[in-house]
Structure formats: C-alpha cells, structure tokens
Amino acid sequence: MVITKEEILQWLQEVKDPEIPVLSLIDLGVITDVIIDNDHVTVKMTPTFAGCPAMDYMKKDVEDVLKKNGISKFEVVVSFEKQWNSNMISDDGRKALKEFGLAPPPRHNLYVDLDIIKYANCPNCGSDNTEMKTPFGPTLCRSLHYCNNCKEAFQQFKPL
C-alpha cells in the first residue's frame, strides 16, 4: 500500500481541537508537516500557546487516527521548529470559528499591538462596533469582548 501525504492530511481533518470541536487541527494550522519515509510516517505539530493543556490530547488523537488507518510505524513530534501564529488558521477554520460563536482572529503582520487586539467583529450580528473587556479569557487562546450593537458578550480567538 502506498500512502500519500495528501491522504494523511485528509485523515487528520477528523481530529478536532478538543476545546473547539468544530475546528480541525489542519484548519487550526498546528500540523506543520507530514513526512513519509517508506512505511514510516512522521507528523510534525506545534502548539498554539506554549502552555496549551490540550496539546497532549491533540497529539494522542493524531496517533489514534494514524493507527486506525493502518499505520503501524509512526512518530508524532511536537516542536517549535515552525512557530504557530493565528494567521495560520485557514479560511475554512475562520468560518467554523464564527459559526461556533467565536470571532476569528484579525489577520496581522506578525506584530500584535493593542489596536489589533481590541478589534473584533461580533460573531452574532457582524458589527465592528465592539469593545474588548479583557485580553484574557476562559482559555489561553480567547479574549473577552462586548458588542455595542446587539448588546451581547462574546469571545474572540486571540490574534498571536
């Protein structure tokens, strides 16, 4: 059986972020490479935030998917070789976040300042007339905001 990188990436679409179950690890951008050497598969991953407690679960889920698809020789490596930033969330991922009720992170030029953090587009009504309540939220990757238009509180996936 010859496996391809595309096939493996397709399988990994079913692995979701445990805290945002609509978002796959592929769309989140944390799978940074898949290397196939004969029948040995190496999947490279990188954390969103260094202290993310979901990383171990995600790694195990990736291993389970490889096993389930008949891969017996594999290694899942977590490293900072390629560093994650929130621009790496795909367009599909951004759509999924919004439907889940989380504002997707605004794109940036890799220097996140207060102006970028404060901006959020309300996932409920689409208004930009929002204010940031605090840059820290219920998980490391979320900030808390309030929409002045629809008067709803909401969370944003933080730009990083």
Least distance (Å) between residue 56 CB and another protein: 11
Least distance (Å) between residue 6 CB and another protein: 27
Distance CA 103, CA 98 (A): 5
Least distance (Å) between residue 28 CB and another protein: 15
Q: Which residues bind another protein (CB under 8 A)?
A: 46-47, 49-53, 79-81, 83-85, 110, 112-114, 117, 133-138, 140, 144, 158, 160
Least distance (Å) between residue 77 CB and another protein: 12
β-pairing verdict for 40-45 and 73-78: parallel
24, amino acid identity:
S
Is the CB of 74 or the CB of 137 nearer to another protein? 137
Going by the DSSP 8-state scheme, the letter that residue 86 receives in this structure is: G
Distance CA 25, CA 46 (A): 10
Is the CB of 55 or the CB of 97 nearer to another protein? 55
Is the CB of 24 or the CB of 46 nearer to another protein? 46
Is the CB of 95 or the CB of 108 nearer to another protein? 108
Task: Look up residue 9 and give its two tokens.
Answer: 């990436």
Let me know: does 43 contact 8? Beta carbons within 8 Å.
Answer: yes
Ramachandran angles phi, psi of 122, nearest 5° = -60, 125
